[in-house]
């Protein structure tokens, strides 16, 4: 339902910022996760590459994405919000 839509929206917003910095072999698993209906894993995968130094994500996009995550995953990625201002 709604959560899935939010996860997809978050991934779609993040992807243009993160994907250019990702290796091809990292993009394929991400696309595969979306295709098999695992938007949560896909978003988590994208955020894993959001830490790359050449990735610059607008704070609102990053905040939206992190807010879609479970609390334990949020804690892992919240430091990103401090680095992306």
* Block residue for tokens 């955020």: 47
Look at the alpha carbons of 59, 53, 35, 78 in this order and tell me if their dihedral is positive or negative. negative
Q: State the pLDDT at residue 85.
A: 53
Q: State the pLDDT at residue 84.
A: 59
For each successive 10 residues of the chain (85 residues), what is the average pLDDT? 90 94 90 94 94 91 95 91 69
Looking at the chain, list the stretches that DSSP marks H as alpha helix, in order from N- to C-terminal side. 2-18, 24-35, 39-49, 59-67, 71-83
Q: State the pLDDT at residue 1.
A: 65
59, 68, 82 from 42: Cα distances, Å: 19, 12, 23
- Cα separation, 58 vs 31, in Å, equals 22
Q: State the pLDDT at residue 82.
A: 79
């Amino acid at each position: 339902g709604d959560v899935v839509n939010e996860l997809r929206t978050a991934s779609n917003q993040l992807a243009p910022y993160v994907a250019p910095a990702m290796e091809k072999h990292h993009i394929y698993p991400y696309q595969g996760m979306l295709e098999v209906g695992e938007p949560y894993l896909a978003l988590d995968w994208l955020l894993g590459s959001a830490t790359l130094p050449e990735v610059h994500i607008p704070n609102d996009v990053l905040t939206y994405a992190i807010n879609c995550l479970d609390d334990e995953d949020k804690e892992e990625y919240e430091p990103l919000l401090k680095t992306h201002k």
